[in-house]
Chain A
Amino acid sequence: MLKLRHIYHRYGDQLLLQDVSLQVQAGEIVALLGPSGSGKSTLLAIAAGLQRPDAGSVWFDGVDISAVPPERRGFALMFQDFALFPHLNVLDNVAFGLIEQRLAKKEARAQAIHMLEVFGLTALALRKVWNLSGGEQQRVALARALITHPHVLLLDEPFSALDADLRVALRDEFRSRIREAGMATLLVTHDATEASAMADRAVRLVAGQLVPDCNGAAG
C-alpha cells in the first residue's frame, strides 16, 4: 500500500501542496484530478522520489521510503510525453529496467520480447521509437513500465497526447492490464471522464488540499 503523509510543498511563493495525505491500496486505481498547475504532477514526482517534499513522508507497505532514491523504490512513472529513449529501439526501451536490475542483456531482451508479444507489439521490436504512432508509443511506455513488476504505477496524464478515439480504446486496455498486474496505481488527469472510466475512486486537488471527488468515483 502506498501512503503519502502530510505532504507540504512550496513552489516559489505559492504553497502548492498543503498537508496532503493519500492512500492507494494494492490493486486499486486512484485518480488525482485538478486543473493544470495545481500541483498534481509535483505530488506524483514526490511519490516517485524525483522530488523531495518540504515536509511530509512517503510510505510503502509500512516502511518510510522518503529517503530512498527513485531507482530503488520500484515504482514506475509514466509521462504524458512517454519519455521513450530516442537512442534505443523499442526492444531496448522495454528491456531498460531489467538491465538496471543487472539482468544479462540476452535474458533481458528475451523477457522484453515476451512482453511485446503480450502487448501485440512484436512487429515493432526493432523500430526506432520516433517512427511509432502516438498509440504505439504509449503501449511501449506501458510495457517498459510494467516489465519490472513495479509495486506502484504512477501515471501522469498518460492519454492527453492522444486523439479522442485512441484515448477511449487505450483507456480500457490500460485498465485491464493494470488490474491483471494488481499494483497500486495513481492516475493524474484533468479529465473527469477519464477518471470515472478508469479509477476506483477519485480525489481532487483544490488550493493545495485533497478533497474527495463525488463525480469521479466509479465502480
Chain B
Amino acid sequence: MAAVTPLNLPRSFWLALLPAAALLLLLLAPLARLGFAGFSGEFNALSDLSVWQPWQDDYLRWRVLWSVAQAAITCVLAFVLGLPLAWVLARYEFAGRALVLRLLMLPFVVPTLVAALGVLALWGPRGLISGALGINLQDTPWLLLYGNLFFNLCLVVRAGVDALGQVNARQVAAARSLGATPWRAFWRIEWPAIAPWLMSSLCLVFLYCFAGFGLALVLGGQRFATVEVEIYSLVAYELQLGQASVLALWMLLLTGAVALGYAALEKRLGAPARTAPMARVHPHAARQWLAVAGALAVLVVVCALPIFAIFIKAAYALWAGASGIFDAEALAALWNTLRFSAVALVAATLLGVLHAFAAQASVVWRALAFLPFVVSPVTVAFGLLLLYPSWTASLPLLLAAYAVLAYPFVAKALSAGLDGLPAHLTQAARTLGASPWRCFWRVTLPLLAPALRRGMAFAAATALGEFAVTLFLSRPEWATLTTLIYQRLGRPGQANLDAAMVLACVLMALALLAFLLIEWPVRERAAVGNDGHRSRVGSGMTMSH
C-alpha cells in the first residue's frame, strides 16, 4: 500500500528529505571530515604523528585505557546494583512504587553539568558528606564513577523492570510445578528472558560513559579525565589539531564497534509479545521488606542525594547572602538558554515528526534515528569545526547542531506511538468520511499527542542541558547556563562555587519542568497505546553527556 506521489517516488522519500539532509550535513559529513583528518594526518606536517600514536604514547594510552575502564566499571556496578533493584520494583507491590518508577525518569532530564555539580556538592571539596567525614576524593576515580552511576543506574533499572514485566508468568509457573525452586526458576526461565534486554541497556551505558564529556571534564580531574576531555583540551587550549583528530578517529572506531554490537542486540529483541505478566506480591516477611527498603536506599543514595545536595548548597549560598549571582552575565546566559532551547525545540519537533513518519516504511531509516545518540557531542562539534571553518561561531550552525542532537527523542517517541496505533482506527475514520488530512487531524494526532509531548520534553531537556557543542562552537556572548556554570567552576573562590551551585539549581528547575511534562500523570488509556504496546522509551533514551 505504498502511497505514491506524482513524481513516482514514495511519500516517505519526501518526508525523509529534510531529516536526511540534517543528518548528512550536520552529523555524517563532519564525522567523515574528522575521520579523514585523523587518517590522512593533514595537520601533522610538522611532526611525525602516526595513526597509532595513541597506543605508543604512555600518556595517551592511559587516557584511552582509562576511558574504556571507567565505562566498563560503571557497567559492572550498574548491573550488580541494577538487577536486584529492578527485580524488587518488578515483583513487589508497595505504596509509592508507581512514584518510584516515575522518578526513575528524572536522571534522563538532568543536565550533565547539574549532575556533576551534585556530585561535587556531596563529595567534592567541602561537600556535604566529604566535609562531614573529612575525606578528600579529589583526584580519585570515585567522583567520576559516582556521576556515571547517577545517570546509568536508573537506565539499567528501568530496562530491567520493563524486561521483567515481559516474563511470562505461565512459564515460571510451569517451571515451578516441574520442581524448580524460585531461585532455580529465576536462573532458568527469567534470566534467559531478560538477559538480552539488560545486555542492550549495558551497551548503552558503556556508550554514554565512554563518549561522555561533561562529567569527565568536571569530575575526572587531571588524572581521571577521559579521551573526550583530552580531545577538547587539545583543540581548545593546545591547538594540536593533529593529535586531537587521531584521538577522535580512534574514539569513532571504538564507539562505532560498540554501537554495532548494540544494534545487533536490539535487532534480536523482538517486539514485546503479549504475555501474562507475573503478579506482584505485597511484601510480608521481614526479609522482603528489607529488600524493598534496601532498594529504595540505594536509589536515594545514588540518584536522589546529588540533586538534594545542589538544592541545599544553593539555598545555603543564597541564605548566606551571596549577592551578585544574578548579574547581567547570568541573566544573559539564562536568556540564551531559553531562546536557544526554544528554537532547537521547534526545529527538532519538525525534524522528528518527519523522521518518524518516514521511518514507518524503513528499518534502516529507523535505525538512523539512533545516530545522534551514539556519537559523542565532542566529536560532532570538532567535526563541524573542521568542516565549516568559516561558519564557526555562527548562530545558525550552533542551533542546527542543537536541533540534530535533540530531534531523535521526538522521532523515537513518535515512532513508538505510531507502532502502537492500530491501523484499523485510521481505516475506520476513512470509511466514516474523513479525508487523509482530516484523519490525521482528528484521529492520528490526538492519539499521538502523549508520545509527541514526551518526545518534545526530552528534546527540550537535551537542549537546556547542552554543553559540549556550546563549548566548542559558541561565542562568549552566547554563553548558556551550562557554559556559565563551567566558567564559574573554573574561577577561584567560594563565591564562584556558590554561584555555580545556584545557577545549577536554576538549570535543574528548568529540567524539572521538562520532567513534569514527561511524567505528569495522564489518564490511562486502556484501549490503545498502553495495552501491550509498552513503549521502550525509558530504556532507549539518553541524556546529553
Q: A97-B433, A101-B433 are in contact. Are A79 and B526 (CB under 8 A)?
A: no
Return the chain B residue nearest A141 by Cβ. B428
Question: Does B435 touch A at the CB level, under 8 Å?
Answer: yes
Residue contact B429 to A76, C-beta cutoff 8 Å: no
Residue contact A144 to B432, C-beta cutoff 8 Å: yes
**Chain B hits for A70, CB < 8 A:** 427, 430-431
Residue contact A77 to B431, C-beta cutoff 8 Å: yes
Bound form: Cα–Cα A131–B529 in Å: 15
**Chain B hits for A84, CB < 8 A:** 527
Q: How many residues of B contact A (CB 8 A)?
A: 25
**Chain A hits for B435, CB < 8 A:** 69, 71
Residues of chain A in range 60-74 having any CB-CB distance to chain B below 8 Å: 69-74
A158 to chain B, nearest CB (A): 13
Bound form: Cα–Cα A57–B425 in Å: 25
A86 to chain B, nearest CB (A): 4
Q: Mark B408-439, 1 if CB is under 8 A from A, else 0.
A: 00000000000000101101111111111011
Residue contact A129 to B527, C-beta cutoff 8 Å: yes
**Chain A hits for B422, CB < 8 A:** 81, 83
Question: Does B525 touch A at the CB level, under 8 Å?
Answer: yes
Q: Mark A21-44, 1 if CB is under 8 A from B, else 0.
A: 000000000000000000000000
Interface residues on A, range: 20 to 34
Total inter-chain residue pairs, C-beta < 8 Å: 83
**Chain A hits for B431, CB < 8 A:** 48-50, 70-71, 73, 75-77, 154
Residue contact B446 to A87, C-beta cutoff 8 Å: yes
Residue contact B525 to A85, C-beta cutoff 8 Å: no
Residue contact B525 to A86, C-beta cutoff 8 Å: yes
Residue contact A50 to B433, C-beta cutoff 8 Å: no
**Chain A hits for B439, CB < 8 A:** 71
Residue contact A79 to B447, C-beta cutoff 8 Å: no
Residue contact B438 to A100, C-beta cutoff 8 Å: yes
Residue contact A85 to B429, C-beta cutoff 8 Å: yes
Q: Mark A187-208, 1 if CB is under 8 A from B, else 0.
A: 0000000000000000000000
Bound form: Cα–Cα A86–B528 in Å: 7
Choose among B429, B430, B439, B528 the residue with the greatest number of A CB atoms under 10 Å from its CB.
B430
Question: Does A148 touch B at the CB level, under 8 Å?
Answer: yes
Residue contact A86 to B430, C-beta cutoff 8 Å: no
Residue contact B428 to A83, C-beta cutoff 8 Å: yes
Q: Mark B430-456, 1 if CB is under 8 A from A, else 0.
A: 111111101100110011000000000
Residue contact A77 to B427, C-beta cutoff 8 Å: yes
Bound form: Cα–Cα A99–B439 in Å: 12
**Chain A hits for B430, CB < 8 A:** 48-50, 69-71
**Chain B hits for A148, CB < 8 A:** 432-433
B407 to chain A, nearest CB (A): 26
**What residues of chain A have their CB less than 8 Å away from a CB belonging to chain B?**
45, 48-52, 69-77, 79, 81, 83-87, 96-97, 99-101, 129-131, 144-145, 148, 154
Query: Can you list 14 pairs linking A and B with CB atoms under 8 Å apart?
Result: A48-B431, A51-B1, A52-B1, A69-B435, A70-B431, A71-B430, A76-B432, A77-B428, A79-B427, A81-B424, A85-B447, A86-B526, A97-B433, A129-B527
Top 4 A-B pairs, shortest CB-CB distance: A100-B433, A130-B527, A86-B527, A83-B424
